[in-house]
Structure 1
Amino acid sequence: VTTLVNTSNKGPSNKKRGRSKKAHVLAASVEQATENFLEKGDKIAKESQFLKEELVAAVEDVRKQGELMKSASGEFADDPCSSVKRGNMVRAARALLSAVTRLLILADMADVYKLLVQLKVVEEGILKLRNAGTEQDLGIQYKALKPEVDKLNIMAAKRQQ
């Protein structure tokens, strides 16, 4: 987007006008990246326990903005000298980036919520451990707590990858 917006003010170029091969390659790579992102977004939205409706709506928005970007970039690639088509593509790119950002934020929120739910389970287990009345009860509570702590640790580690 930045490259498209920051056009050169050096005046007319001596380069041959017409169709841009590089623009078509760029448009195809943006389209492929959007498709890959949508695949992962669909999977996350379907598997999510939290914010499911919002995630599905965000994926659909990315899909819609991706189609608009595909159309605008194709038109720009066919006529790279048109400032109107350049402007349309810049607006489409910004809208796509905005939709992608919204989806990423929602996916992150759902992930954090999952972590908080697991943290609550661990906190409750610690409370039971603390309130154990006998040594046997302490052992039982510890055995119950350990897998929950391990699960929380794995979930937190995944966010660091």
Structure 2
Amino acid sequence: MEAKIGISSGNLAAVAHSLSKILADEYVLYTKTRKAHWNIEGPDFYNKHKFFEEQYNQLEKVVDNIGERIRKLGHYAPGSLKQFLELTHLTEDDRFKNDAQGYIKMLLADHESILIHLRGNIDNYAGALKDAGTSDYITNLMETHETMAWMLRAHLL
């Protein structure tokens, strides 16, 4: 059933497609963070294992909220790995060493990439697409990533 919420169907489709790309990015980042949690090695294993768990738990909530936001707009959220890999602008993890510094640098780069993408779209949602709700949602999501990136950055020398 079509969502009649004061936004044209064309704009809703554009917002849903954009959010689907963000959802894919978030899911790939979530997966990479899970991998870091499972595979971390080194003298700081326990602390980093717990730290990555906190991060992937945050990302799990983000993934769920974006999927639900897409549904609120009357569209279906992508949900397969194939779809996510087709939509994401991130790359899959190709690490060979399971050390904390390497994982942190890789995850930080992904958070920063997502931040740049989110920041570049905030005004488009509110302006051209007439969706202040999604603009506000993306602003909050951006703040979540800023905090997560800060936490990662604080572990680097």
Same fold per superposition (TM over 0.5): no
Higher relative contact order (CA 8 A, sep 6+): 2
TM-score range, shorter chain: 0.3 to 0.5
Say which one has the larger Rg.
Answer: 1
TM-score of the aligned structures, taking structure 1 as reference length: 0.44
Given the two structures, how large is their TM-score scaled by the length of structure 2? 0.45
